[in-house]
């Protein structure tokens, strides 16, 4: 039965990612309730510590480690969020969308619970995400967070995510070759293109 569930979850994610349905899903609720020590990257700019801890927690709730494959945290999706918002080529309106909605989420948590989102109990966090998944101002943001998570399943570990190819292994995915070297990573190749 467990092997059946593992295969079902893997096939579900494969289908979800490959068909683009991830953009339509507002949220996935966590099965995990345990608190974890949160490793903080050396630099979390432009986020504050509260913002980073909130992103970390939201991603963990949306795609938890339930024992049947890597969760968002094991994939380093929180680091990928930082990388994305620091990408010089990201559209400024997209960066604002990510950050403004993150701030609104914490503001809403303070209004409703008197605490930052990451300081709430796990059950309150999950209930709050469920409420946000049906609200116009936040459901698109949650959908984008899921997309970021699914991107980490397929990214090369050279980008600081998907360590030891855990996403690839879980999905039985085989990347194209040659894999990128440090000199051939985005945005390095784009910077070289601009220098020509």
Query: Is the predicted pLDDT of residue 7 greater than 90, yes or no?
Result: no
Min mean pLDDT across 20-34, 85-99, 123-137 is at 20-34
**Taking phi first (over 0 means left), then psi (-120 to 50 degrees means alpha), and beta for anything else, what does residue 69 get?**
left
* Coil, helix or strand at residue 146: helix
Instruction: Give CA separation, 95 vs 49, 112, 156, in Å.
Output: 18, 26, 23
- Is 22 a residue whose pLDDT tops 50? no
In whole angstroms, give the CA distance from residue 142 to residue 58: 9
Note down the domain range covering 87. 2-195
pLDDT band at 32 (very low <50, low <70, confident <90, very high): very low
Q: What percent of the chain has pLDDT over 90?
A: 66
Q: How confident is the model at residue 60 (pLDDT cuts 50, 70, 90)?
A: very high
Q: Has residue 65 got a pLDDT over 80?
A: yes
Q: What angle do CA 31, 35, 38 make, to 5 degrees?
A: 115
pLDDT averaged over every residue in the chain: 84
What pLDDT, on the 0 to 100 scale, is given for residue 37?
A: 79
Residue 49 has pLDDT above 90, yes or no: yes
Confidence of residue 190 (pLDDT cuts 50, 70, 90): confident
Tell me the C-alpha distance between 144 and 22, whole Å: 8
Residue 24 CA to its chain's centroid (Å): 16
Structural domains in the chain (count): 1
């Amino acid at each position: 039965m467990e092997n059946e569930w593992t295969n079902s979850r893997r096939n579900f994610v494969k289908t979800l990612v490959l068909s683009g349905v991830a953009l339509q899903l507002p949220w996935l609720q966590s099965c995990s309730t345990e608190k974890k020590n949160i490793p903080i990257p050396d630099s979390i700019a432009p986020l504050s510590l509260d913002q980073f801890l909130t992103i970390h927690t939201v991603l963990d709730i949306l795609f938890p480690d339930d024992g049947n494959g890597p969760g968002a945290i094991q994939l380093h999706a929180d680091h990928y969020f930082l990388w994305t918002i620091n990408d010089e080529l990201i559209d400024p309106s997209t960066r604002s969308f990510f950050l403004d909605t993150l701030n609104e989420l914490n503001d809403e948590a303070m209004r409703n619970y008197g605490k930052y989102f990451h300081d709430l109990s796990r059950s309150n966090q999950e209930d709050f995400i469920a409420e946000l998944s049906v609200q116009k101002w936040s459901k698109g943001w949650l959908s984008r967070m899921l997309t970021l998570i699914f991107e980490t399943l397929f990214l090369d570990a050279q980008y600081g995510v998907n360590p030891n190819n855990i996403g690839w292994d879980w999905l039985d995915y085989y990347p194209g070759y040659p894999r990128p070297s440090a000199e051939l990573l985005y945005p390095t190749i784009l910077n070289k293109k601009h220098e020509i």
